[in-house]
Structure 1
Amino acid sequence: MTAKIKKADKFSNFNPYYIQNHGAVYLGDSLELIKFIDDNSINLILTSPPFALARQKEYGNASADKYIEWFLPFASEFKRILAENGSFVLDLGGAYLPGNPVRSIYQYELLVRLCKEVGFFLAQEFYHYNPARLPTPAEWVTIRRIRVKDSVNVVWWLSKTPHPKADNRQVLKPYSQSMKRLLKNGYQAKIRPSGHDISDKFQKDNQGAIPPNLLEIANTESNSAYLRRCKAAGIKPHPARFPQAFAEFFIKFLTDKGDVVLDPFAGSNTTGFAAEVLQRQWLAFELNEDYVRGSLYRFNQVKDEV
């Protein structure tokens, strides 16, 4: 692999926990492991670290008031190892302030410091909409009925330069029925009521529609191969997995085959699995050995239902 971990004698567990055709998983503290990755060698860092939630979760999470200081040392390393045209995609869930129906703004405070202090550019903001998310927190949403269901994570697409590698032709959506009719029947060029001038170029068939920055991906995994295999092996699965389609979108959009993808907070290693399927090289770091053991079950017979 282009971005191999350098051998470090002081880490007894520095050998990969397991290896696949295109990547490897390492067990350990990612802040230590990442120091042995070469500068400018990673094309995409795609991760969803523990969120700054009001309640402590079993996978470990810093509180909102400490989250930014906890995260910034990782961010500095991310910038160092990222290729000049590489991208850093950060998925973050929101949180209410403890005991109050008002939101923490830690995601936005973190974004400002990532750009102002670490030196990242905000290439674009995305929103991951999960229509299947439960109505929480119950106190404000289902009991007092003073808030609506929170179904969106913010996703910051960051880069080292204003011009990271990206190609939206790799993530086109199927055309709507109305667009298919327009392509079939033609369109008379004219100015719309909004003032936009829609020329005859609008009816060119580009093999799909450009997706928006709102990614509607339900997270309804309940009987996947990963969960079935974990259950059969008596291993508790990771409780906060993001959908494979989420990882696939950014890997297709921001990398080419053979590029190197890193997830420094791998959890159940959805990112690594998606990278394996898409034939990207990949590295995954995870601190919890139970999650690493369980993640191996994603890779048994890769062509299985996931």
Structure 2
Amino acid sequence: MKLKTAKKTLNVIYNQDARNILDTIDSNTKVTTTITSPPYYDMKDYDSDNQVGYGQTYEEYLNDLKSIFAGVFEITEQNGTLWIIIDTFKRNNQVITLPFDLSNKLKEIGWLLQDVIIWKKDKTVPWSTNGFMQRKFEYILFFSKTANYKSNKDSVRVYDTSQLKKWWIKYPERYNPKGKALDEVWEFPIPTQGSWGEEYIRHFCPLPQNMVATMIQISTDENDNILDPFAGSGTVLSQSAYMKRNYIGFELNKNYISMFKEYLEKTFSKYRKEYELVIQNKDQGDFENRILNLRSLKFARVLIANIEKNIDFKNFKIFVVPKKASNIKHKLLKVEYQIIGQVDETIFTDEAKKIINKAPLSKFGIEPIFKFIEAKKFNHKNHFGYTKTNTYSYVKNSDLDSPKIRVISKICVDLNENDYL
């Protein structure tokens, strides 16, 4: 008796109509996220019979898309998501708001619109010049299946200090320790036709690799399943493979499928190595540690300035003990501040409570613990001194007992803001 071979449903691109998703994908296969750019209504013939968009009325087109994304909804994990790259167009001398018309259709299915992102792409497709202004952006609609959806937004935060304003040095409380969040305008240029030489797939409107990688990073983890029901040149599928995700694609044009397979074979080794290198060398933790160190030190400096302004305590120093995680909600870390000098503990504590419970110190995410010591000796090799005006660069070759040194710690920070202009 011949055994029945299980149908492959992962890491495959089907030469099938996306309207047949539920008949094609195994019922046990679930998708974590779908990333796609549907056909541009009737503006481009993709050389396939019975295709979605070309040759249809607008209502037929919308209804077909609704049916397709209803199928996608059914096979999506409960914490799954959907990304749709789509644009408006002009008909009869007016703009047709396709992104919003489609969004309303998808809400009827149950998809929850979470974000509308502007993709600033710099280049345009031929029909976008019908108006008197050049069209250099498209919409990215981001949906979730439920309110509790997978989101790795911290993993795509901007923590490259060369891309941040120099304020992160003097004002670390303004920056999330994991980096600056993405905004709702994304700048990714459309790949230039032929710019990747023999590796490049020719397609009417290819998606930027880095933009797709960003979506994948936000919405999935390694080994998750990613779907593109309008695979086209296969950018979503190939990027999924590079980033150790499983892919499922649908594409009616056999030439695109052949080009995708050839492209993936040529590029897989190169871009998988690039992905692994980025993951291994990710220094987000270093940025987070630096921001928290800057906050810990600045907290002491601001506290000193306010205490001296409000009460007659002079020349005391604060020794900052390296941080620990805080268990208090909305607090990032617990820091011990040792108050060194002859101060009244009760008066200091009462005044400090008033100061730390209002801005700016209330915004630092620090749970302070105060201890009072009349005198303390410091090892000049292991301790670093800061002034009342600067806690982002320690004072070199200075006596830690000097009156100008007000904050002392084993935390060593030596940053020059001019290096980050």
TM-score scaled by length of structure 1: 0.76
Structure 1 residue corresponding to 2:67, chosen from 51, 73, 79: 73
Query: Cα offset for 1:278?
Result: 0.7
Query: Cα offset for 1:250?
Result: 0.6
What residue in structure 1 maps to residue 31 of structure 2? 42
Query: Cα offset for 1:155?
Result: 1.3
Query: Cα offset for 1:202?
Result: 2.0
Instruction: Please tell me whether the aligned partners of residues 129 and 218 of structure 1 are also in contact (alpha carbons under 8 angstroms).
Output: yes
Tell me how far apart the structure 1 counterparts of residues 30 and 190 of structure 2 sit (CA, whole Å): 31
Distance 1:82 1:73, change over 3 A: same
Determine if the alignment matches structure 1 residue 125 to structure 2 residue 116. Answer: yes
What residue in structure 1 maps to residue 96 of structure 2? 104
Determine if the alignment matches structure 1 residue 266 to structure 2 residue 257. Answer: no
SS at match of 2:90: coil
Determine if the alignment matches structure 1 residue 91 to structure 2 residue 85. Answer: yes
Instruction: Please tell me whether the aligned partners of residues 134 and 149 of structure 1 are also in contact (alpha carbons under 8 angstroms).
Output: no
Instruction: Please tell me whether the aligned partners of residues 135 and 148 of structure 1 are also in contact (alpha carbons under 8 angstroms).
Output: no
Tell me how far apart the structure 2 counterparts of residues 123 and 106 of structure 1 sit (CA, whole Å): 18
Distance 1:214 1:138, change over 3 A: closer
Query: Cα offset for 1:40?
Result: 7.1
Distance 1:301 1:29, change over 3 A: same
Determine if the alignment matches structure 1 residue 202 to structure 2 residue 174. Answer: yes
SS at match of 2:95: coil
Tell me how far apart the structure 2 counterparts of residues 6 and 157 of structure 1 sit (CA, whole Å): 33
Instruction: Please tell me whether the aligned partners of residues 175 and 209 of structure 1 are also in contact (alpha carbons under 8 angstroms).
Output: no
Runs of at least 5 residues in structure 1 that lack an aligned partner in the other structure: 8-14, 17-21, 141-146, 188-199, 231-235
The one-letter code matched in structure 2 to 1:173 is V
Query: Cα offset for 1:220?
Result: 3.1
The one-letter code matched in structure 2 to 1:131 is D
What residue in structure 2 maps to residue 216 of structure 1? 187
What residue in structure 1 maps to residue 296 of structure 2? none
Tell me how far apart the structure 2 counterparts of residues 28 and 180 of structure 1 sit (CA, whole Å): 49
The one-letter code matched in structure 2 to 1:120 is W
Instruction: Please tell me whether the aligned partners of residues 191 and 206 of structure 2 are also in contact (alpha carbons under 8 angstroms).
Output: no
Distance 1:137 1:211, change over 3 A: closer
Instruction: Please tell me whether the aligned partners of residues 168 and 253 of structure 1 are also in contact (alpha carbons under 8 angstroms).
Output: yes
SS at match of 1:103: strand
Determine if the alignment matches structure 1 residue 163 to structure 2 residue 148. Answer: yes
What residue in structure 2 maps to residue 12 of structure 1? none
Instruction: Please tell me whether the aligned partners of residues 129 and 135 of structure 2 are also in contact (alpha carbons under 8 angstroms).
Output: no
Instruction: Please tell me whether the aligned partners of residues 88 and 158 of structure 1 are also in contact (alpha carbons under 8 angstroms).
Output: yes
Query: Cα offset for 1:223?
Result: 2.8
What residue in structure 2 maps to residue 19 of structure 1? none
What residue in structure 1 maps to residue 298 of structure 2? none
Tell me how far apart the structure 2 counterparts of residues 47 and 133 of structure 1 sit (CA, whole Å): 18
What residue in structure 2 maps to residue 150 of structure 1? 135
Q: Greater CA radius of gyration, 1 or 2?
A: 2
The one-letter code matched in structure 2 to 1:123 is Q
What residue in structure 1 maps to residue 14 of structure 2? 26
Tell me how far apart the structure 2 counterparts of residues 276 and 297 of structure 1 sit (CA, whole Å): 14
